[in-house]
């Protein structure tokens, strides 16, 4: 009797265990797809988590470097006058602060009027110098002569001027551009070239001496400067001196100078 009860109990327990196993298996089969889906990470590019570093690279902005303004090269400039001053007797002090020499501040024939340096009311030779003594130099001036008078009057510049008896000159006489020297009071024409200049018309004349080489050219003010020198010569008589202007005028003629510049020639 006792044995039969034990067997019945074992069979009951076994049935319960079998039932539990069947229940667990059913639950696993039901929830397995959901669990698997939750654990899987999709490998398609569109759904991959973005783990790239997205910070922007540092931008190196160029800093504006302020360079000092180039200093104007004034060492080559020896003298300059623009005559931009009030009307006065004599030529006085040039626009560069230097005082005119020669006859410019002692002869009543010199004056400043209408923003130009004038020479007139007389006849003869008149000289004006400006700046220090130089060896290799160049003078550029713009001016007019009211009456050339078939060569009776002329207008020009001087270099290596020592005194009234020693200088080199480049000038216009209305028909020619001429290179002239005066040494110990003796005049010598070094070279000439034809150039017709009109009375009352303004011209610009450039005269240069480097070593023993003299050169000059002239053109109507406001027009293009000639590329080449128009007249040249070589001479060893004078080695240094002052730069300036030298004119010869008749009674009715008036010289009008608007700009004058002398610089070191290189």
pTM comes to: 0.72
| CB contact at 8 A, 258 and 202 | yes
pLDDT-flagged residues of the chain (< 70): 1-75
Burial 96-109 (b: 16+ CB within 10 A, else e): bebebbbbbeebeb
Q: Where are the chain's structural domains?
A: 123-264
Structure tokens belonging to residue 168: 């080199």
Looking at residue 257, its pLDDT comes to 99
Class of domain 123-264: mainly beta
Which CA distances in Å does 179 have to 151, 172, 239, 242?
A: 15, 9, 16, 17
What pLDDT is attached to residue 9?
58
Task: Please report the pLDDT score of residue 251 as a whole number.
Answer: 86
Max Cα–Cα distance, the chain, nearest Å: 175
Which pLDDT score, from 0 to 100, does residue 231 have?
A: 99
Residue 19: Cβ-neighbour burial (10 angstroms; 0-12, 13-18, 19+):
exposed
């Amino acid at each position: 009797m006792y044995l039969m009860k034990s067997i019945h109990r074992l069979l009951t327990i076994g049935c319960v265990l079998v039932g539990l196993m069947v229940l667990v298996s059913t639950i696993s089969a039901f929830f397995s797809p959901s669990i698997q889906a939750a654990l899987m990470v999709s490998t398609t590019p569109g759904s991959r988590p973005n783990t790239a570093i997205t910070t922007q690279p540092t931008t190196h902005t160029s800093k504006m470097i302020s360079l000092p303004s180039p200093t104007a090269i004034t060492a080559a400039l020896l003298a300059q006058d623009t005559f931009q001053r009030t009307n006065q007797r004599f030529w006085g002090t040039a626009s560069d602060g230097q005082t005119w020499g020669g006859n410019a501040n002692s002869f009543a024939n010199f004056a400043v009027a209408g923003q130009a340096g004038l020479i007139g009311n007389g006849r003869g030779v008149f000289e004006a110098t400006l700046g220090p003594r130089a060896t290799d130099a160049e003078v550029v001036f713009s001016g007019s002569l009211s009456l050339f008078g078939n060569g009776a009057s002329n207008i020009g510049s001087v270099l290596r001027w020592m005194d009234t008896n020693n200088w080199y000159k480049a000038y216009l006489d209305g028909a020619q551009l001429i290179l002239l020297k005066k040494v110990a009071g003796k005049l010598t024409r070094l070279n000439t070239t034809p150039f017709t200049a009109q009375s009352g018309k303004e011209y610009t004349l450039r005269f240069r001496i480097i070593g023993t080489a003299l050169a000059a050219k002239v053109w109507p003010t406001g027009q293009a400067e000639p590329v080449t020198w128009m007249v040249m010569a070589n001479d060893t008589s004078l080695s240094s001196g002052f730069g300036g202007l030298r004119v010869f005028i008749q009674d009715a003629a008036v010289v009008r100078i608007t700009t004058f510049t002398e610089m070191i020639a290189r």
